[in-house]
């Protein structure tokens, strides 16, 4: 049963939303959370030892065969997983491992490569990773690399609209890729703004903010954004409004511009976008609340197919001040997790089918649970994170690390020989922060990027 829900009903509390499961509250008090955190730390240490032994300085380890693969460059390695892991190692107190990563960066990292990278992936993973490692250690060498990389990414923003091209050659600055999307246009401000703050050079902050504003200015009359646009002409290429990819982190970084820099424009843009999303996209299917894809100009429904990446959205909505709706959405995803064990890449909330039965070792539900927990400390979020962790350990653990799943419908699940860089930066950190109460993190005042990089809130002893 798919019924549209008006915004007043959702935000006004007049609706019966799926309640927090009572067993989660009861079960939570029986869990030794610090022992669980120690287990997460031990898994991180084990995975790091494997990466060190089999793929040191390479971008991504192949966790089944013990080989490696490059990303975001096609053939050249930039130590992606190592850089993504650094602040996670640091919050876990794996200081020797952090120090060896630091030594590798000092001795080997160079972005002077004649190769093309995704501006978005490089910014959130490598620039963000260097900045969070700098936040952890204060090492100026890490900031120097971040600045060098920021300079190499900037040419992508020199477009007629200010919305960046998708790809840039790290050495030549040549850019390409005008057919783009909200996430690849507007997921830069926390990293670029932090770089500006640390270097005193305002160009990075300005470029990132200008891109966000340029896209927002092109919203439809009902306040929605489609998910495809030409960055040179500003002409929309698609009609679908979605909170999943490739739009997801655009909304996240509007809120984050406000959270991290107190930018009122970002807050205003977030509020306008969110009001439209809640009004036109929130739907009820059985006991659960979802955000369906709709036409960006009419608000008419297009699809009940949800991408797993959209599971982050409950955490964002909670931060943005709609906790009941946010909790209902995260519970909808948690129910899918309870049913399948781990989340499929694609789930249809009307048919209940896992229409994309792979699992790319995704962090989004753990991300949402962590953000909810930071806000209200309700035990159910820790329980969702615990299930996420224990099931990942059960299904995704392979000989040399954690692996993606080729088909999660069959038992035993079929693994595939990939471990994405974000695994090192995201869920392992979310689990640890959720379970550990570590003094290395300021639980009251902090900021984690879309890639889980901590840009505010690390506490150096
Ligand atoms: C991460 O790289 C980031 O969270 C990004 O915003 C989208 N999702 C992937 C991990 O699934």
Q: Is 429 in the pocket of ligand 1 (CB under 6 A)?
A: no
* d(CA 12, ligand 1 centre) in Å: 31
Q: Indicate if 121 belongs to the active site.
A: yes
Q: Is the pLDDT of residue 8 over 50?
A: no
Using DSSP, state whether 60 is helix, strand or coil.
strand
Residue 408: both structure tokens together: 């999660």
> What does 278-333 look like in DSSP terms, one character per residue?
HHHHEEEETTEEEE-EEETTT--EEE-EEEGGGGGHHHHHHHTT-HHHHHHHHHHH
pTM: 0.95
Q: Which of 43, 116, 121, 184 is catalytic?
A: 121
Q: What angle do CA 63, 65, 67 make, to 5 degrees?
A: 80
Those residues whose C-beta lies under 8 Å from the C-beta of residue 439, and which sit 6 or more positions away, are: 459, 461
The rounded distance, in Å, linking the Cα atoms of 136 and 307 is 33
**Cβ-count burial 393-407 (b if 16+ within 10 Å, e if not):** eebbebebbbbbbee
Weakest-pLDDT range from 11-25, 230-244, 267-281, 303-317: 11-25
Residue 83 and residue 105 in contact, taking contact as beta carbons nearer than 8 Å: yes
* CA R_g for the chain: 21
* d(CA 242, ligand 1 centre) in Å: 15
- Which of 118, 129, 247, 426 has the most ligand 1 atoms within 8 A of CB, as the residue to mutate? 426
**pLDDT computed for residue 26 by the predictor:** 62
pLDDT averaged over the chain? 94
Q: Is 122 in the pocket of ligand 1 (CB under 6 A)?
A: no
**pLDDT computed for residue 154 by the predictor:** 98
Q: Is 309 in the pocket of ligand 1 (CB under 6 A)?
A: yes
Q: Indicate if 345 belongs to the active site.
A: yes
Q: Is 84 in the pocket of ligand 1 (CB under 6 A)?
A: no
Residue 96: both structure tokens together: 């020797």
Phi first, then psi: give them for residue 82, nearest 5 degrees.
-60, -45
Q: Indicate if 184 belongs to the active site.
A: no
* pLDDT band for position 373 (cuts 50, 70, 90): very high
Q: Indicate if 308 belongs to the active site.
A: no
Closest ligand 1 atom, residue 312 Cα: 4
The protein residue whose alpha carbon is closest to atom 6 in ligand 1 is 450
- Which of 83, 127, 364 has the most ligand 1 atoms within 8 A of CB, as the residue to mutate? 364
Q: Which domains does the chain carry? A: 2-456 (1.50.10.10)
Strand partners, 180: 229
- pLDDT, tens digit, for every residue of 18-77? 445 544 556 899 999 999 999 999 999 999 999 999 999 999 999 999 999 999 999 999
Q: Is 184 in the pocket of ligand 1 (CB under 6 A)?
A: no
The rounded distance, in Å, linking the Cα atoms of 71 and 179 is 21
DSSP state of 155: G
Using DSSP, state whether 416 is helix, strand or coil.
strand
Residue 346: both structure tokens together: 């694609």
- pLDDT, tens digit, for every residue of 383-436? 999 999 999 999 999 999 999 999 988 999 999 999 999 999 999 999 999 999
**pLDDT computed for residue 460 by the predictor:** 86
- pLDDT, tens digit, for every residue of 121-166? 999 999 999 999 999 999 999 999 999 999 999 999 999 999 999 9
Q: Is 422 in the pocket of ligand 1 (CB under 6 A)?
A: yes
* d(CA 363, ligand 1 centre) in Å: 8
DSSP state of 179: E
Q: Is the pLDDT of residue 9 over 70?
A: no
- pLDDT, tens digit, for every residue of 291-321? 999 999 999 999 999 999 999 999 999 999 9
Closest ligand 1 atom, residue 421 Cα: 2
- Give the residue ranges of DSSP H helices in 352-438: 364-376, 379-396, 422-425, 427-436
């Amino acid at each position: 049963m798919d019924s549209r829900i008006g915004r007043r009903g959702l935000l006004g509390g007049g609706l019966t939303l799926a309640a927090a499961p009572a067993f989660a509250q009861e079960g939570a008090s029986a869990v030794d959370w610090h022992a669980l955190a120690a287990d997460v730390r031990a898994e991180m240490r084990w995975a790091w030892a494997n990466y060190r032994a089999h793929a040191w300085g390479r971008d991504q380890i192949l966790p089944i065969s013990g080989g490696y693969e490059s990303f975001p460059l096609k053939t050249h390695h930039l130590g992606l997983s190592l850089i993504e892991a650094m602040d996670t190692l640091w919050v876990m107190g794996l200081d020797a491992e952090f120090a060896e990563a630091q030594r590798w960066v000092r001795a080997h990292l160079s972005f002077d490569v004649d190769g093309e990278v995704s501006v978005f992936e490089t910014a959130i993973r490598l620039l963000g990773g260097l900045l969070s490692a700098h936040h952890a250690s204060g090492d100026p060498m890490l900031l120097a690399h971040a600045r060098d990389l920021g300079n190499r990414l900037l040419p992508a923003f020199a477009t007629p609209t200010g919305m960046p091209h998708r790809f840039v050659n790290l050495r030549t600055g040549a850019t390409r890729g005008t057919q783009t999307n909200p996430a690849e246009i507007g997921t830069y401000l926390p990293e670029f703004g932090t770089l500006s703050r640390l270097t005193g050079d305002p160009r990075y902050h300005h470029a990132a903010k200008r891109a966000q504003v340029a896209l927002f200015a092109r919203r439809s009359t009902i306040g929605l954004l489609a998910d495809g646009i030409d960055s040179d002409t500003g002409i929309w290429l698609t009609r679908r409004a979605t909170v999943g990819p490739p739009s997801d982190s655009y909304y996240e970084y509007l809120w984050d511009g406000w959270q991290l820099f107190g930018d009122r424009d970002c807050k205003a843009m977030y509020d306008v976008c969110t009001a439209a999303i809640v009004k036109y996209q929130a739907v009820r299917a059985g006991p659960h609340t979802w955000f369906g894809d709709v036409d960006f100009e009419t608000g008419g429904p297009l699809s009940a197919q949800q991408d797993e990446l959209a599971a982050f959205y409950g955490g964002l909505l909670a931060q943005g001040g709609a906790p009941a709706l946010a909790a209902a959405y995260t519970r909808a995803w948690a129910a899918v997790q309870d049913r399948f064990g781990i989340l499929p890449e694609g789930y249809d909330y009307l048919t209940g089918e896992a229409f994309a039965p792979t699992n790319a070792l995704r962090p989004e539900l753990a991300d949402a649970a962590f953000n909810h927990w930071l806000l209200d400390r309700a035990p159910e979020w820790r329980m969702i994170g615990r299930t996420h962790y224990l099931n990942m350990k059960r299904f995704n653990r392979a000989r040399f690390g954690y692996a993606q799943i080729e088909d999660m419908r069959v038992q035993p699940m079929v693994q595939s020989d990939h471990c994405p860089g974000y695994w090192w930066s995201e869920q392992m950190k979310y689990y640890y922060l959720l379970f550990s109460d570590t003094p290395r993190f300021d639980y009251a005042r902090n900021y984690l990027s879309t890639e889980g990089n901590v840009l505010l809130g690390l506490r150096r002893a």
